[in-house]
Structure 1
Amino acid sequence: MNTVVKGRHMDVTPALREYAEEKIGKAAKLLNDHMVMSIEIELSAERNPAIEKKHVAEVTLFTKGHVIRAKEAAVDMYAAIDLVSEKLERQVQKLKTKLQNRHKAAAPAIAEAAPVEESEPSIVKRKVIEVKPMAPEEAALQMELLGHDFFVFASAETESINVLYRRSDGDYGLIVPR
């Protein structure tokens, strides 16, 4: 498994690199070794003095067919790594359970299965929207007016469906299909 540890706005010491690889590696080992393809760990330090939890650890775990991402912030980097490791473990465990349940559902059941603790999320609401051609800037304005975190619109340039969303840093992201 290929693990990359990089720092943004900070130097990653060998001790910090080893600690991050060890903690995140434990979470990744919950999956089968052949499933995990690579891990990217990004450690960053925010420079804004108004932010209390300046140290941020973000992990992206690439598996065969799935990408698991976790991000946590804390007062010091070791605590941020601990928090993101715990969050990643929960997400990996959830994926593992879903994959096992899918596998069990595909095979014919011989005995009565134990009740599943968590139910799978289901679609509880459908909404039909009118998609109007517009520029991303206009879509951002519409999204702000509606108070939503995302907005679906047709690109005025390409006429393809795009999704504009609000990122955790306050900026916008744009999803454009190929």
Structure 2
Amino acid sequence: MEVSVFGKQIDIGEALRTHVELSLVGGVAKYFDRPGRAQVTFSREGAGFRCDCSVHFDAGILLQSTGEASDIHASFEAAAGRMEKRVRRYKRRLKNHHKNRQSSEKIMTAPTYVIAAEQEEEDEPQTLQPIIIAETTTDVTTLTVGEAVMQMDLAEAPALVFRSSVHGGINFVYRRLDGNIGWVDLKP
């Protein structure tokens, strides 16, 4: 597995880098034969540290976790612990993720936009349109609703767009403010 360790305005020592690489490779190898690549980013968060871990598996699954602590090593351990807990929870489903899939299924590519949040202003703005600050493309895979919820949970994403394996239409699932999952089915 290729592991990249970065620090945002923090000098990452060789001992921490080695510890992160060994821990991630050892923790992920228990569950996956062919792990892809990982990225770990450390940053200052107030008086403590924050660790963001992101692992991209060859099967197309993205797993993300975050840990915060007063010590940089403890922040990584918190993030790695959360990641391993979620992988353990979905272990059986992750191993069987692509067994029932046909290899000829097409993955659709769709644009992704990040829109700037509105600022509190007294005056009425010139245009009522929000400003788009980022535009990327993302793959829209064919999934069941259960698989989509699993991938959204593993990626710690607020929402996930996917193509329904039942009827082929575009669907999306999202995390509601009350903690439950919402599902929108756009039938063709």
TM-score by length of 1: 0.52
Q: What residue is the counterpart of 1:73 in the other structure?
A: 68
Q: What residue is the counterpart of 1:59 in the other structure?
A: 53
Q: Secondary structure at the match of 2:11?
A: coil
What whole-Å deviation, never above 9, does each CA across 1:110-162 have from its counterpart, x for those lacking one? xxxxxxxxxxxxxxxxxxxxxxxxx9656x88xxxxxxxxxxxxx7899xxxx
Higher helix share: 1
Distance in 2 separating the partners of 1:62 and 1:136: 27
Identity %: 21
1:20-169 alignment runs, 5 A limit:
20-34=20-34, 36-46=35-45, 51-52=46-47, 54-63=48-57, 64-100=59-95
Return 5+ residue gaps in structure 1 as ranges. 107-134, 142-154, 159-172
Q: What residue is the counterpart of 2:8 in the other structure?
A: 8
Greater Cα radius of gyration, structure 1 or 2: 1
Question: Which residue identity is paired with 1:79?
Answer: A
Q: CA RMSD in A?
A: 3.2
TM-score by length of 2: 0.50
What whole-Å deviation, never above 9, does each CA across 1:6-55 have from its counterpart, x for those lacking one? 11110110011111112222221122232x11010111123xxxx34x21
Q: Does the 8 Å CA contact 2:68/2:75 hold for their aligned counterparts?
A: yes
Return 5+ residue gaps in structure 2 as ranges. 101-114, 121-128, 133-157, 161-188
What whole-Å deviation, never above 9, does each CA across 1:67-105 have from its counterpart, x for those lacking one? 00000100101111111111111122233222356689x
Higher strand share: 2
Structure 2 CA distance for partners of 1:20 and 1:137, relative to 1, 3 Å: closer
Distance in 1 separating the partners of 2:71 and 2:83: 18
Aligned length: 111
Q: Give 4+ residue runs of structure 1 displaced > 4 Å after superposition.
A: 100-104, 135-138, 155-158
